[in-house]
Every structure is written in structure tokens, then in C-alpha cells.
Structure 1
Amino acid sequence: MYEAIRSKSVHSTAAGTTSDFPHRSREEELDIQLAGHLAALLAVTDELRALAPAADLDAAAERLAEQVTRLRAGRAPVRVPVTAAHPEPHPAALHRRAHTLAGRALVVAASRADTAAAILTAERMDAHTAALEPRELAAH
């Protein structure tokens, strides 16, 4: 049996009607999306740091944390303790995941014309690509 809807639709798009929920601008939505991608990249970077500590990963993690904090209006990202990473080594999979996340972040950063985030993500893509390439031994 059909019963008529008695409440106002939350999807009302009629002109001149106001809704009770806040709307975000495109720029705010892109900031949220970029911060999410960078936070995910930071988590993978922290996992890589746990498996193979390196100064460049430490620097990258700090730069990523700074960008996430900036995009989130001063709220620092939640960090994975370096000792909390998975015990089984899987650096190649982590580098591939980090490369993918950096690529997604680069697309959003370019869309919102965020030069600092675009440069950082492009650098991270290059670093993860280099980590995945086989090392050539010079036998000269």
C-alpha cells in the first residue's frame, strides 16, 4: 500500500528555497579532497619510513604533514607511529600505492592551482617511480 510522503524532501532544488544544510564551494571541496589524498600519501610514507628509514622519507613526511595542516585550516593530520607498520616487508607495493596517491593528489592540486602541493606531489611521484625501477649495476 502506498503512503504519501509527509515531510519535505532533503533534495529540494526549487529556485528560491533555502535549505538547512551548509553548502561548500568548489574550492572548499577541492581542499577537502586534496587534504585527503595527501593524508593518505602521508600514511603510506610513514609505513615506508618504518620499513626503511631514510632522511628523504622523513623530509617528505614533514612536508606532506605541513600541506595537510594548511589545507585543514591548522588541524594536523593523524600520524601512524613508525613502529606500527606491518611487520612483513612489502616496500614495492607501498611505493606503487604511494605513486598512485601522489598522482591523484597532483590532479586535484592542478585543478585548484595549488602550486606548492603540485610540486610536492610531482616530486613524490618521481621518488616512488625511482624506488620501483630496477637498479642498474655499473660493471665497467
Structure 2
Amino acid sequence: MYEPIRTKSVHAHGPHRSREEELDIRLAGHFTALLTVTDELRVLAPAAALDDAAARLALRVERLLGHSPLRAAPTEGVADAAHVTALHQRAHMLAGQALVVATQRGDAPSTALAAERLHAHAGFLFP
């Protein structure tokens, strides 16, 4: 009939994360992705507001994970308006995702940061 399973299940025992830990990891991931896009925007369209946002995003990720986020080196290039708009769209989407997770966590500082970034990128996209 059926041959018995001879290997251990990939769903076997082991340490499991709590819901809060999973939400922390997801939120840190969204903020790290948002930080990467923010760093790209800082190179293509420098602004003090973006510098401030990048610093606060990095600090928030550090508080969530316990260590500084990995940061990719932004690409050098010409500030093509279509590319800058696409980056703002991506940042807007990431900020929205972070806002949802931060709200689920009940994390007021993260919720405020995500909402602020969502509003800032929406201001660029929908003047």
C-alpha cells in the first residue's frame, strides 16, 4: 500500500515564535524595505525630510530587532522623474503595509511613523 515516511517532517518540533515576535519581524521587514527606498530617494532627490525619515526608520528597526538594519548602497544615477515617482509609489505601498502591521501590534510609535511616511509619499503622488 503506502510506504512509511522515513524522514522527519519539516513541520516537526522546534521553537515557535509568538504572534508578537512574528509581527515584530514583519514590521521590521516593512520598515527596512521602506528605508531602502528612502535611501534611494535621498540620492536621487535629496531633502532634509528624507534624511530625517531615514534616521528614524533605522532607529525604529533597531528597536524592533535589537540591531541596526542592513542598508544597501543606493544606486547612483540621473533623477528621472518617472523613476522618482515609482520610488514614491513603492514607498507609499510599504508605508501602508507597515501601518497595518503596526496597528495590529498596537505599537503607537511605529503606527505614527508609518502614517507619517504614508502621508509624506501621498503628498508627492497626489499633490
TM-score, length-scaled by structure 1:
0.82
Q: Alignment RMSD, CA only?
A: 1.7
Q: Structure 1 residue aligned with 2:28, among 19, 29, 35?
A: 35
**Larger Rg over CA atoms:** 1
1:52 aligned to 2:42? no
1:69 aligned to 2:62? yes
Cα distance in 1, alignment partners of residues 90 and 76 from structure 2: 15
5+ unaligned residues in a row in structure 2: which ranges?
none
1:85 aligned to 2:78? no
SS of residue in 2 equivalent to 1:22: coil
**How many residue pairs were aligned?**
124
Cα distance in 1, alignment partners of residues 20 and 31 from structure 2: 16
Matches within 5 A, 1:1-140: 3-11=3-11, 19=13, 21-73=14-66, 75-81=67-73, 84-85=74-75, 87-88=77-78, 89=80, 90-134=83-127
SS of residue in 2 equivalent to 1:42: helix
**Greater helix share, structure number:** 2
5+ unaligned residues in a row in structure 1: which ranges?
13-18, 135-140
Cα distance in 2, alignment partners of residues 56 and 100 from structure 1: 19
Closer/same/farther in 2, CA of residues 56 and 22 from structure 1, 3 Å limit:
same
Percent sequence identity over aligned pairs: 60
TM-score, length-scaled by structure 2:
0.90
Closer/same/farther in 2, CA of residues 41 and 3 from structure 1, 3 Å limit:
same
Cα distance in 1, alignment partners of residues 62 and 26 from structure 2: 13
SS of residue in 1 equivalent to 2:72: coil
SS of residue in 1 equivalent to 2:68: coil
Cα distance in 1, alignment partners of residues 10 and 38 from structure 2: 40
Q: Once the 2 structures are TM-superposed, how far is the Cα of residue 2 of structure 1 from its aligned partner? A: 5.2
Q: Once the 2 structures are TM-superposed, how far is the Cα of residue 132 of structure 1 from its aligned partner? A: 1.3
